[in-house]
A and B are shown apart, each in its own frame.
Chain A
Amino acid sequence: MEFTREDVRKIAVLARLDLTDAQMDHYAGQLGRILAHVDKLGELNTEGVEPTSHSLRLVNVLREDEPRPSLPNEAALANAPEQELGCFKVPPIIQEM
Chain B
Amino acid sequence: MGWETVIGFEIHAELATASKIWCGCSTEFGRAPNTQTCPVCLGMPGSLPVLNRKALELATRAALALGCRINRPTQFERKNYYYPDLPKNYQISQLRKNLGEGGFLDVKVGDSTLHVRINNVHLEEDAGKNIHPDAPGADYSLVDLNRAGTPLLEIVTEPDLRSKEEALAFMESLKSILEYSGVSDCNMHQGRLRFEANISVRRQGDDKLGTKVEVKNLNSMKTVLKCIEVETDRQIIELESGGRVVQETRLWDEAAGVTRAMRSKEVANDYRYFPDPDLVAVEIDDALLERIRAEIPELPDARRKRFVEKFGLSDYDAGVLTADKDLADYFESALAVYGANPKGVANWMAEPLRWLGEDPDRDIGEYPIKAAAIAELVKLIDGGTISGRIAKDVYRAMLDGEGAPAEIVKKKGLVQISDTSAIEPIVDKVLAANADAVEKILAGKEKAIGALVGQIMRETKGKANPQLVNEMILRKIRQ
Q: For residue A64, which residues in chain B have a CB less than 8 angstroms away from its CB? A: 52-54
Pairs of residues from A and B, 8 with the lowest C-beta to C-beta distance, nearest first: A68-B24, A53-B275, A87-B142, A65-B54, A88-B143, A62-B53, A67-B26, A93-B141
- B32 within 8 Å of A by Cβ? yes
Interface majority SS on A: helix, strand, loop or mixed? loop
Q: How far is the CA of A1 from the CA of B251 in the complex (A)?
A: 41
Interface size class of A (residues with CB under 8 A): 35 or more
- B81 within 8 Å of A by Cβ? yes
Known contacts A14-B272, A53-B275, A64-B53; A59 and B142 CB within 8 A of each other: no
Q: How far is the CA of A32 from the CA of B426 in the complex (A)?
A: 105
Q: For residue B50, which residues in chain A have a CB less than 8 angstroms away from its CB? A: 61-63
Known contacts A62-B50, A93-B84; A85 and B142 CB within 8 A of each other: yes
Interface size class of B (residues with CB under 8 A): 35 or more
Interface majority SS on B: helix, strand, loop or mixed? loop
Q: How far is the CA of A58 from the CA of B278 in the complex (A)?
A: 12
Q: How far is the CA of A65 from the CA of B262 in the complex (A)?
A: 38
Q: For residue B263, which residues in chain A have a CB less than 8 angstroms away from its CB? A: 94-95
B271 to A, closest residue via Cβ: A14
Q: Once the chains bind, are B142 and A68 in contact (CB under 8 Å)?
A: no
- The one of A54, A93, A94 in contact with B280, judged by C-beta atoms closer than 8 angstroms, is A54
Q: Which residues of A contact B (CB under 8 A)?
A: 10, 13-14, 16, 53-54, 56, 58-73, 76-77, 82, 84-97
Q: Once the chains bind, are A86 and B32 in contact (CB under 8 Å)?
A: yes
Q: For residue B142, which residues in chain A have a CB less than 8 angstroms away from its CB? A: 84-85, 87-90
Known contacts A62-B52, A63-B51, A92-B140; A76 and B42 CB within 8 A of each other: yes
Subset of 10 A-B contacts with CB under 8 Å: A14-B80, A53-B277, A54-B280, A66-B19, A67-B24, A70-B36, A86-B33, A88-B142, A90-B141, A90-B143
B139 to A, closest residue via Cβ: A92
Q: Once the chains bind, are B84 and A90 in contact (CB under 8 Å)?
A: yes
